[in-house]
Amino acid sequence: MQDFPTQLRCAAVADFCRPDEPRPYVLHIDASGDQLAAGCSDGRSWLLDPVSLRHIRCYESPWNSVSVALDLERTESRGAWKGPSTHGVYCWDTRVPGNYPMASFQSYPRQTLASFDVNATQLLLTAGTELQDEDAFVLFWDVRAGRRGSNQALEPMGVYGESHSNDITQMCFHPTFRDHLATGSADGLVNVFDLQQPMEEHALSVTCNSESSVASIAWEEAANGEGRLFCTTHTEGLWLWNIGPEGEGRTEDFHVEDVRRKVRVELAYLVGGFSAAQDEGLIVVGGASTGHIHLLQLQKEGLVPLLQFLSPKPKTLTDCAPVRCFHWFEGTGAESKLVTGDEDGQLVLWSVGENSSESLKRSCDQRKPTGTADSILK
């Protein structure tokens, strides 16, 4: 096993379990400024203090169903978005108390939502549906229409229905190009749409095949274009594609077994990835059965161990709940944090304690990869 140049322990733990109730999965995490939100499998979404993980407020949708996604607005209006697995997507104003949503966006009858996202301007909402009668749809709403004081739920203003043949499990807008939308599905396809085009067939600009059901997708920005699209699958695969003016070009694909063998770290599963900074490339997050969390950086030589977060569980506990979601963000006072949610109903805060770019750069400088590129990762 390779050693990690930096090992860190958790700073705080929040438990969402209630007495005499099954422990919920923590499925989604998002953070913005001084706010942190977590969505659970019991339909509840929690607003928390990002430093102490103290519970501030709990939001419940009109229908108690699983939260399929969660999003905190990056604007002064401070909205908390939540999408349950049925009926629609709801938005609360986090500045005011109360559990009643300020806006709701309904799907068409008999359509069950499986994913959603809001674009960078917070003006366009999109959601993906489960398969219904051999069709899966991408739905669109104008967010501004839902904030004009109407108490009625809004129906979609547009729909795509020709690009996926199974549940649409992931929706992800580009963080800079507000009209570029990536969708992932259980059919294995990852599609990129240019929403400035008037028709679906013209909007579909790139189609990538992950060869398995898509678990997560994320954008890695580049200074000279859209960058790369990162995808993990439900069979523990990981894919990267170059996305730009010249279209799709696969750059990397590997499985968790390849990572264990070539990088030689204790790794049971992949959670996802993020881009800490434009000059640092992609950071891959994975977990071990011991509860430890691994951060691996994709360099020219392949995947390189970067940080290891040591489990807060007792050393005698050999089988810890898998992590289902994470969020890496810059905390108050330029302190970087990794927040993870697991299948045991717990949210764990792992504090780096330094500026993320400095900490990650130092760890990379300390680690000198051994062997050839082929011996680590093709």
Q: Quote the domain boundaries for residue 137.
A: 6-376
pLDDT given at position 7:
55
First to last CA, the chain: 19
In a domain, 1, yes or no: no
Alpha carbon distance 237, 226 (integer Å) = 23
In order along the chain (378 residues), what is the average pLDDT of each group of 10 residues? 55 69 85 82 84 85 57 59 68 81 85 89 91 92 75 85 95 92 96 95 93 91 73 90 68 75 79 72 84 82 79 56 82 64 86 48 36 24
Secondary structure letter of residue 15 according to DSSP: E
Q: Which of 253, 182, 186 is nearest to 213 (CA)?
A: 186
Alpha carbon distance 48, 32 (integer Å) = 11
In a domain, 199, yes or no: yes
Task: Using CA atoms of 198, 201, 204, 207 in order, give the dihedral in degrees to the nearest 10.
Answer: 180
pLDDT given at position 194:
95
Question: What is the number of structural domains in the chain?
Answer: 1
pLDDT given at position 17:
67
Cα separation values, 168 from 87, 183, 256, Å: 16, 7, 23
Q: How many CB atoms lie within 10 A of CB 121?
A: 12
The alpha carbon of 141 is separated from its chain's Cα centroid by a whole number of angstroms, namely 21
Domain with residue 120: its CATH number is 2.130.10.10
To 5 degrees, how large is the angle CA 64–CA 66–CA 72?
Answer: 100
Per-residue exposure over 215-227, b if at least 16 CB sit within 10 Å of its own CB, e if not? bbbbbbeeeeebb
Q: Are strands 6-15 and 302-310 parallel, antiparallel or unpaired?
A: parallel
In a domain, 255, yes or no: yes
In a domain, 189, yes or no: yes
In a domain, 144, yes or no: yes
Cα separation values, 15 from 39, 62, 85, 333, Å: 12, 23, 23, 25
